[in-house]
A = this chain, B = another copy of it.
């Protein structure tokens, strides 16, 4: 199968590995794991951590996955092709994610959430349970999506983040908030409720500062929707429609 597995790695015989897979030193892969072809798993990782909340479901990583070292994935989550992670990500059970997801160093996905295609989490993002994240979303460092409206309580109201949203550094999104398509949430903000589409929200509590079209790049063109000028890392099949 042309696989390259470090001799110190500990791989369950029950794990299903595709072709052309690299697995780093000391990494542990438990029983309930399926990894697609052409994937790389760094050193010191744990894939398929057992948990009763997984209900026996596998961890499924698609083709061309690239998991950097010291990362931990529970069983019971499923990712489309092209997943890329930084180091030390922690991903619990029941994450259902599309293709080409990027999860930055130190991110903490608490599980029980849905994530679309081409989503990018920068470093140290915390995704609470019951979050629903659309496609082409960007979330920057130290952002937290919360879910408990009366902490601590038994009520869980996840955050919804629609397509093309950008949430900037160190913002908190309060339980049940809906960040509507194309919104920009400024750094260090705290957002509750439902935002208006394509609008800028800044502050704590965050206020609507108007349309994102107000923000201009230095050449005078509009900075948002960001897809009109930012295409790095997206395949041409995606950006041709932008």
Name A's B-contacting residues (CB within 8 A). Answer: 8, 10, 25-26, 28, 43-44, 46, 49, 69-70, 72, 86-88, 90, 105-106, 108, 110, 120, 123-124, 126, 138, 140-142, 144, 146, 148, 150-155, 166, 168-170, 172, 174, 184, 187-188, 190, 203-204, 215, 217, 223-224, 226, 229-230, 232
A88-B88, A172-B188 known; A144 vs B146 contact (CB < 8 Å): no
Contact A187 B190 (CB under 8 A): yes
- This chain: copies in complex: 3
A70-B70, A124-B126 known; A151 vs B140 contact (CB < 8 Å): yes
Q: Who on chain B is nearest to A44 by CB?
A: B44
User: A138 is contacted by which of B88, B152, B154 (Cβ under 8 Å)?
Assistant: B152
Residues of B close to A28: CB separation below 8 A: 25, 43
Identify 24 residue pairs between A and B in the complex whose beta-carbon atoms are under 8 Å apart, listed by A's number: A8-B10, A25-B28, A44-B70, A70-B72, A70-B88, A90-B106, A105-B108, A106-B106, A106-B108, A108-B123, A108-B141, A120-B152, A140-B151, A141-B146, A142-B142, A142-B144, A144-B170, A151-B226, A152-B226, A153-B217, A153-B230, A169-B172, A172-B187, A204-B204
Contact B151 A124 (CB under 8 A): no
Contact B226 A204 (CB under 8 A): no
Residues of B close to A138: CB separation below 8 A: 151-152
Nearest 5 Cβ contacts at the A-B interface: A188-B190, A150-B223, A172-B188, A172-B187, A170-B172
**A69→B26 CA distance, assembly (Å):** 13
Contact B72 A90 (CB under 8 A): no
Contact B190 A153 (CB under 8 A): no
Q: Who on chain B is nearest to A126 by CB?
A: B141
**A70→B126 CA distance, assembly (Å):** 18
Residues of B close to A230: CB separation below 8 A: 152-154
User: A170 is contacted by which of B10, B46, B170 (Cβ under 8 Å)?
Assistant: B170
User: A166 is contacted by which of B126, B152, B172 (Cβ under 8 Å)?
Assistant: B152
**A168→B151 CA distance, assembly (Å):** 7
Residues of B close to A142: CB separation below 8 A: 126, 142, 144, 170
Residues of B close to A148: CB separation below 8 A: 140
Residues of B close to A86: CB separation below 8 A: 90
Beyond A43-B46, A44-B46, A124-B124, list 11 extra A-B contacts (CB 8 Å).
A44-B70, A110-B123, A126-B142, A140-B151, A141-B146, A142-B144, A144-B169, A146-B168, A153-B223, A153-B226, A170-B172
